[in-house]
Amino acid sequence: MEITEKRLANLDATRFWAFLSVFLLHILSVPEFKYHPQLKQFFDAHINTFQLGVDYFFTLSGFIITWTILNEYQSSGNFSLKNFYRKRALRIFPLYFLIFMIIYVSHFFTNQLYTLPPAWHFALTLNFYLADNPILFLPFAAICWTIAVELQFYLFFGFCIKYLKKYFTEICLSMILVSILFRAMAQSNSQLIYFSSFSYLSYFSMGAMAARLAINKSAFIEKIKNLSFGFILIFYLVIFINILFYSVWYNSGVLLVFEKIIFGLFFCFVILEQVYANNSLIKLGGNGNINFLGKISFGLYCFHTIALSIFSKIAIAFELNSKLELLMMNPLFIFGITVLLAWLSFTFLEKRFLNYKNNL
C-alpha cells in the first residue's frame, strides 16, 4: 500500500523526536556541565533510556528501505541494486565525509588530545573497532559508529533482496535469531553489546517485515487503519511504561537479551500507526516546523555533537553552570546552533545530491 506524502510527513516527524532523544543523551553526558549531585545521579541512572532514539532510527531504516525496494519491484517488476547503492551513497556520504574531514582537522588543532581509529574504519567498520577498542574518542565523532551500522545493513540487505528475495521471511527471522543469540552470549560485555551490529539486526529485520506487511497484506493494513482510539492509547501507555522503567528492567538477564525484540515491536507499531491508523491520538506530522526538522534530521544528528563540543568550551570559559543555564539556556543555545548548521548543510550541500539521487 502506497505511503502518501502526508503519511510520510508523520514518519519525518518521528525522526525529529528520535533525534531529540539522542540530543538529550549527549547533553546530559557532558562532563563540563556541572549538574546538582542529586540531579546528576538521576540522569546517570536513566541516561541509557535516551539511546532508544538511535534504536528507533534503525527500525525506521529497515521499514523505509524495504518499502522502497518492494515498491520498486511492484511498479517495475525489477530492482536495481546498483541504483540502490548509488542512492544510499548520495544520501549519506556527502555529509558523512564532511563530518569525517571536520573530525581530522579538529584532531590536528586539538594537539591530538583524543585518539582516532585508523581512517579506513570510518568507511564501514567503526562500530566493530569501538567494540574491541575502548578509546577516549573525539566527542563529535561519537555518532559515526551508528552510520557504519546503517551502511552495513544497506550492503547486506540490498544484496539479499536482489538475489534472495524468495527467502525474505527466512532471512529476517534469521537476523532476529542471530541478534538474540549474540545478546545472550555477549550480555556480560557492555562495550561489545552496545557497539556490535549483531545487537541491532532485529531492529532492521522487524522494520523490514513491517514494510512487507504494508506492501503485500492489505487485510493487515485494514486492521491497523481500524484500530480503536482506546487500543492505541493503551498500547502507547505500555510503551511509555517500558521507556520509563527502561534502565531498571532492561539492564540484565532475559529482558536485556530480548530488549531489541520488545522495542522493535513497539517501534513497528509506532511506524504503522502513524502511517495508517485512522484513530490516532495525534499525527506527529501535523506541525510543519516539526516536519521540516524531521527532514533535516540527518544533519541534526551529525552536527549536534559538534555544536555541543563547541558550546561546552564556551560554558567552561564563562562558567555557565547555573540551574537555569544548565537545564534551559545551554540546551536551547546548542539546539539552535545545531538547527542552523543542519539547515545550512541541507540547503547548500545535501539538496544538490538529493536531486541527483531522485533522478536515478
Range of the domain at 319: 5-359
Amino acid at 183: R
Give the model confidence (pLDDT) of 221-279 as tens digits: 999 999 999 999 999 999 999 999 999 999 989 999 999 999 999 999 999 999 999 99
Number of domains in the chain: 1
CB-based contacts of 262, cutoff 8 Å, min separation 6: 242, 255
- pLDDT, tens only, 23-68: 988 888 776 666 666 667 777 777 889 999 999 999 999 999 999 9
The alpha-carbon radius of gyration of the chain (Å, integer) is 20
Instruction: Tell me the CA distances in angstroms from 12 to 125, 126, 193, one per residue in order.
Output: 28, 27, 29
CA distance 192 to 170: 26
115 phi and psi, to 5 degrees? -90, 140
The per-residue pLDDT for 131 is 85
- Region of 287 (left: φ > 0; alpha: ψ -120 to 50; beta: rest) is beta
